[in-house]
Amino acid sequence: MLKACLNGGRGRDEHPAVPVTPADLAADAARCAGLGAGAVHVHPRDAAGRESLHPSVVAAALDAIRAAVPGLPVGVSTGDWIEPDPAARVAAVRAWTVLPDFASVNAHEPGAEAVAAALRERGVGVEAGLWTREAVEAYKGWRVPAGRILVECMADDPAVAVADAADILAALPAPAAGAPPVLLHAEGPATWPVLAEAVRRGLHSRIGLEDTLRLPDGELAPGNAELVAAAVAAGAR
């Protein structure tokens, strides 16, 4: 599965095509789904353009995307930079009036398991974000099952990122029947080499302006649609 990560924490000061409003997100989601993306991951924004977990902000983004692309799985982030207080993140999840299909939870963040548990209580799929081997160990202690594992390589150097991917993947529990699928991705200069590694290993992958502003040849991407098209051409599905 290829997931399109449409905006992340980026603003239009970084790239004019970053989708910010619900209408922007919906239009980009439709374009990316038409090119082969099997899901989208978004960071809903409030009226001031700030990332938010507020129920009305999350609902507006999800409703717009689902109206534009019915049936497309949509996920959001619960990163602690959006709401630093773990209890407030749990409260936000419990207050959502419109639910995403899945939400990412970074295992290294304080209160991660409680956020994951709140998502499971609401029937939202949990994506466990693992940035390091230490995060894998933290995740192994969860009593909350994840629906998908995100192996997230944060190093800028492509060789380091690919090596980190191998290290984190090796630390995961041995695959078993019913084990959650793994999505492998990176950011910045390592995005495309790590996507190639995901394709080589037969893992899920993701691409979008959250992770990179550039196409494989180094040229600035016009937008998310062109990044998805390039990923599909590279073998991501």
Question: Over the chain, what HEC string results?
Answer: CEEEECCCCCCCCCCCCCCCCHHHHHHHHHHHHHHCCCEEEECCECCCCCECCCHHHHHHHHHHHHHHCCCCCEEEECCCCCCCCHHHHHHHHHHCCCCCCEEEEECCCCCHHHHHHHHHHHCCEEEEEECCHHHHHHHHCCCCCCCEEEEEECCCCHHHHHHHHHHHHHHCCCCCCCCCCEEEEECHHHHHHHHHHHHHHCCEEEECCCCCCECCCCCECCCHHHHHHHHHHCCCC
Average pLDDT value for residue range 192-197: 98
CA distance 60 to 38: 21
Residue 136, both tokens:
């894998």
pLDDT score at 43:
98
- pLDDT surpassing 90 at residue 176: no
Residue range 35-59: average pLDDT?
97
Task: Flag whether pLDDT at 72 surpasses 80.
Answer: yes
Are 26 and 69 spatial neighbours (Cβ–Cβ below 8 Å)?
A: yes
Residue 178: per-residue pLDDT: 76
> How far is the C-alpha of 8 from the C-alpha of 216, rounded, in Å?
20
What's the whole-model pTM score? 0.96
Tokens read off for 40: 């989208």
pLDDT of 231 above 90? yes
What is the pLDDT, as a whole number, of residue 237?
87
Instruction: State the pairing for strand pair 205-207/182-186.
Output: unpaired
Residue from 14, 152, 163, 169 nearest 77 by CA:
152
Which pLDDT score, from 0 to 100, does residue 202 have?
Answer: 96
pLDDT in tens, 93-133: 999 999 999 999 999 999 999 999 999 999 999 999 999 99
pLDDT at 18: 98
Q: Give yes or no for residue 177 having a pLDDT over 80.
A: no
Residue 205: predicted pLDDT: 98
Q: What is the average pLDDT across 216-234? A: 98
**Would you say 192 and 233 are in contact if contact means Cβ atoms under 8 Å apart?**
no
| pLDDT given at position 34 | 98
Reported confidence tier of residue 173, pLDDT bands at 50, 70, 90: confident
Number of domains in the chain: 1
Within 8 A by CB and 6+ apart from 206, the residues are: 2, 3, 4, 5, 41, 183, 185
Tokens of 89: 């993140």
- Average pLDDT (79-90) is 97
Q: CA 135 to CA 237: how far, in whole Å?
A: 27
**Taking Cα atoms as reference points, which of 1, 75, 18 lies closest to residue 211?**
18
Give 224's pLDDT tier (boundaries 50, 70, 90): very high
| Domain with 176 in it | 2-233
The CATH number assigned to the domain holding 185 equals 3.20.20.70
Residue 69 has pLDDT above 90, yes or no: yes
Mean per-residue pLDDT of the chain: 97
pLDDT at 10: 96
